[in-house]
A and B are shown apart, each in its own frame.
With several copies, the nearest count.
Chain A
Amino acid sequence: MDFRLTDEQEMLRDSARRFLEKECSLEQRLHAPVNGGFDAARWAQFAEMGWLAASLPEDCGGLGGDIVEAALLMEEFGRNLVVDPFWGIGVLAAQTLLAADADKARELLPLLCAGELRPALAHHEVQSRGVIEHVTTQARPAGDGAWTLHGEKTLVMGGNVADRFIVSARTSGGSRDRQGITLFLIDANVPGLQRRDVRLIDNRWSAEVTLDGVRVTSADLLGAVGEGWAALEYGHARGLIALCAEAVGVMERAMWITRDYLRTRKQFGVTLNTFQALQHRMAEMLIELELSRSMVYRAMAYLVRPLAARQAALSVAKARVGQSGRFVCAQGIQLHGGIGVTEEYSIGHYFKRMTVFENELGSAQFHLEQLALRECAEPAAARAQN
């Protein structure tokens, strides 16, 4: 076990940090939200710097990296609260596609790496609440091996600028069966698809996608009929880790911004850093940050474990990072005082990002409940050893 970065990884992180601090600071992209959080020229730069390729295999046009590379980048994005849809397109959709269909992945992911294709994952639904297998969107047989899609998808991250949608739909089974979920890749402007773009409070954008009789054929299939769950799980696992890594970046920067503020802001004739109660609060923030970072490492280590152990580790991570992130960023505001709740100062945006984090891929409470179910079901002996 070795927590040190390789030279390549260090280079990737350092170049990302330099670029983002120079080009993507909070101040610089005040107008980004209005533009859908997207800048085509910037996206081309992401591609050029190899970020879209960093965590994809070489036969898909990638650089042969893995989740570590995605996490490194996401942590840097977190520090700067980058709103570009890297996560939705470059992690969640890309990794799902990779796992769903090897042939299509080899065909399409090189385009994604080059910045020429922007698929988004249209999977989440209003009543999903963290449950991957929750799919009520229907794929109804329409003869000749075709289907028509009917349903509504929400929180399609990056959906506002997507040119393709990976849509999960039910070809059989009930709303929470793992079996019977089928993935389709469809064009963003296919007839029957309606999109409403939604700005989130953290200034990232998502879309609500309504499918009303969208016609798809077997040529649009990703993987086998009814077997989409495994690819979704694969993509969600990596997406969750990347999200947690981003949150670590969010927390870390929020902590240092607050530290710097305490060292300069005066009240009662002295700088705030001299107050013991505030010092201790910041010590707690550091502890929470470092526990969260450890959780991301652990989740990455457990990716190779069998499904049950992997899912437990992911739940552990999402729960802990969500709890820590809320604490750290809320205290970041609190220690700033009034300026912390203003839109023009940075610290509040860190809190907003963590608020949305809680509503993505299952809240801390959802994941605690998943772990609780395991506690009741599994024999204690097995748990004690993993």
Chain B
Amino acid sequence: MDFKLDPADEAFRQEVRAFLKENLPPDLARRGACGFHPIRADQRRWQRTLFERGWGAPNWPVEYGGTGWSHLRQFIFDEECALAGAPATDNGGLRMFGPVIYTYAGAELKARLLPGILKGELYWGQGFSEPGAGSDLAALATRAVRDGDEYVVNGHKIWTTGAHTCDIIGLLVKTNPEAKQRGISFLCVDPATPGITVRPIIDIGEAHSLNEVFFDNVRVPVSNLLGEENKGWTYAKAVLENERATSAEVPLNKRKLAQLRHIAMHERSDGCRVIDLPGFAPRLAQLEVDLRALEWLTLRALTEKSEGAVLPYGSLLKVRGSELVQRIGELTVEALEQYGSYLYAEPGEDPDAKPDWPPGPDYAPGVVADFMYRRAATIYGGANEVQRTIIARSFLGL
């Protein structure tokens, strides 16, 4: 065992920090640090900046334009970006779908899809869940029937994050209705294709990131099939595993905890800082303790991964990471008191628009909206109850 941080990794951290200081525009950082869903324009702009630096895909191998960084360096990079307030990059393209594309897709599809992700020009939506297939994803009913060089798709997807702004949808469809998992295929679908209707789902933070997507005789070229027909379940599982691997969201939680500290040191009660109110700091300390535990469980997951992990790290991290983001949000809303009750509605996609917000300190907008949206953290990516069953069955043999 060796717990020393490699000096080269520490130098790398400084390099990232310097880069951020120089290249992250303050307006992006300001919007990135608040709790609203990131603005697509900001994400594009920032992804382009990273791409130009050669850091477009920290988690991809060099041959596909990635950095080839170790897991630890990726972790350092993500952490520095989060703490600096950089906009979240496209988790869908970079982490969930990209690796599945370069692992399973044919050469043509790779060439067509990967560069756009790198440059921030191809954003992904995830067309997996359906009204009748949530935690039980394999129960999906959206049909794709082959008709010459095309599939004809009919069905109804739900919880499609960013379907209203994305450039491509990773769609799970039934190509063999007789089979369950083995009848599922994976199509890459242009959301502008005729027959597709996107209906916004407003979340309880009064923000719009989720959608329903209806497919009415949508024709998708067979060349947009990922890998082989009826093998989509394999790819989907890989996508979900990729989602869970980062699901502790340690960088995000660090940013949120830093924000909570900031708020607790600036909000006051009769002149006394909220952080100095009796009982507040120990609760903050408990969150710090739990974040550190999660951070080092993540580091173990990253370094043990190459060794062939036995522990179901993804599930462990998903459960506690999602709980932590909710608990941090809860204390932040409490620290804000009345400003934690005010409705600061999402400002929308135009970065220059001035929203008509209620009064309050700069750090108030977005906090409660995010707190509300994060109720979904223990649900999305496989509800925590499902993760516990996975842990109990797969590892504990119950």
Contact = CB atoms under 8 A, between A and B. Distances in A.
A and B touch in their complex, CB below 8 angstroms: yes
Contact of B3 (A176, A301, A355, A371): A301
Interface string A342-361: 11100011011001101110
A283 to B, nearest CB: 4
B270 A175 contact: yes
Contact of A337 (B134, B270, B292, B359): B134
B257 to A, nearest CB: 8
Contact of B388 (A155, A268, A280, A316): A280
Interface string A280-301: 1011101100111111011011
Given A334-B379, A342-B201, A200 B342 contact: yes
B372 A348 contact: yes
A365 B279 CA distance: 8
B277 interface: yes
- Bin the interface of chain A by size: 35 or more
A6 interface: yes
B72 A1 contact: yes
B319 A287 contact: yes
A131 B269 CA distance: 9
A319 interface: yes
Contacts of B4: 1, 301, 304
A365 B280 contact: yes
B316 A127 contact: no
B50 interface: no
A25 to B, nearest CB: 18
A81 interface: no
A131 B277 CA distance: 13
Contact of A351 (B204, B258, B383): B204
B258 A359 contact: no
Given A154-B338, A369-B278, A351 B375 contact: yes
B383 to A, nearest CB: 6
A219 interface: no
A273 interface: yes
Contact of B342 (A175, A198, A268, A348): A198
B372 A341 contact: yes
A175 B379 CA distance: 45
Interface stretch (A42-50, A82-90, A372-380): A372-380
Interface string A193-220: 0001011111000101000000000000
A348 B204 contact: yes
A4 interface: yes
Contact of A126 (B135, B202, B261, B338): B338
A85 B158 CA distance: 36
Given A127-B271, A316-B288, A320-B289, A267 B134 contact: yes
B334 interface: yes
B320 interface: yes
B225 to A, nearest CB: 27
A263 interface: yes
A323 B232 CA distance: 42
Contacts of A298: 292, 295-296
Contacts of B353: none
A262 B288 contact: no
Contacts of B391: 283, 286-287
Interface string B329-359: 0100110111011110000000000000011
A375 to B, nearest CB: 5
B62 interface: no
Contacts of A154: 338
A291 B261 contact: no
Contact of B359 (A196, A266, A290): A196
Interface in A278-332: 278-280, 282-284, 286-287, 290-295, 297-298, 300-301, 304, 313, 316, 319-320, 326, 330
Contacts of A196: 358-359
A143 interface: no
B2 A1 contact: yes
Nearest to A363: B334
Contacts of B229: none
B201 A279 contact: no
A129 interface: yes
A5 B391 CA distance: 25
B375 A291 contact: no
Given A196-B359, A297-B296, A286 B271 contact: no
Nearest to B361: A126
B304 interface: yes
Nearest to B5: A1
Contacts of B383: 334, 337
B148 interface: no
A375 B3 contact: no
A35 interface: no
B164 to A, nearest CB: 15
B389 interface: yes
Interface of B: 1-6, 9, 72, 83, 129, 132, 134-136, 139, 158-159, 201-206, 210, 254, 258, 261-262, 265, 268-271, 275-286, 288-290, 292-297, 299-300, 303-304, 307, 311, 315-316, 319-320, 326, 330, 333-334, 336-338, 340-343, 358-359, 368, 371-373, 375-376, 378-380, 383-385, 387-389, 391-393, 395-398
The 6 residue pairs across chains A and B that have the minimum distance between CB atoms: A301-B3, A372-B281, A371-B285, A279-B392, A294-B296, A348-B204
18 contacts: A3-B304, A129-B337, A198-B358, A267-B135, A275-B385, A278-B385, A282-B396, A287-B319, A304-B4, A319-B286, A330-B375, A341-B203, A341-B372, A342-B204, A359-B341, A368-B286, A369-B277, A384-B258
Given A3-B303, A129-B269, A198-B342, 12 more contacts: A1-B303, A3-B1, A4-B307, A201-B205, A201-B342, A267-B139, A279-B388, A356-B341, A368-B279, A371-B282, A372-B278, A376-B276
